[in-house]
Structure 1
């Protein structure tokens, strides 16, 4: 129950950042050129992507602030589609 409440609070404050959870391990895998990135590397990559997305969302269209979830979906969605198309063509 505590985990659900904490997840709900985090989502209500940060918005949905689903694409970071999907794209970060793939991005870390490409950075390390490994079949499977270590969990710590994938987590740090996800954290870095979220911080950079938040920074861009706050400053790119100042004084208007974009929700970070909008930016991560706008960047993460096409990246994941590109990965799927690329894998299908192999």
Structure 2
């Protein structure tokens, strides 16, 4: 997720450092959400693993990215 987000932030130019920074922010946000926001909805008070939260957010973004890229004609 971080590569395409960083490319959109930089308006087409790619940067490994910006992609790494965006990836770190995504993981930190997913860890915070899994540890603090979602346990109130779970019955036994456990926290969600960061991979579950990242996957739940990343899968719809990946599908949206595939659909919009293929619509423009740049997809594979």
Using the size of structure 2 for normalisation, the TM-score is 0.81
RMSD: 1.0
Match of 2:33 among 56, 64, 67: 56
Q: What SS does structure 2 have at the residue aligned with 1:61?
A: helix
CA distance in 2, matches of 1:25, 1:39: 8
**2:55 is aligned with 1:78:** no
Unaligned runs of 5+ in 1: 1-22
5+ residue gaps, structure 2: 40-44
More RCO (CA 8 Å, sep 6+): 1
Count how many residue pairs are aligned between Structure 1 and Structure 2.
67
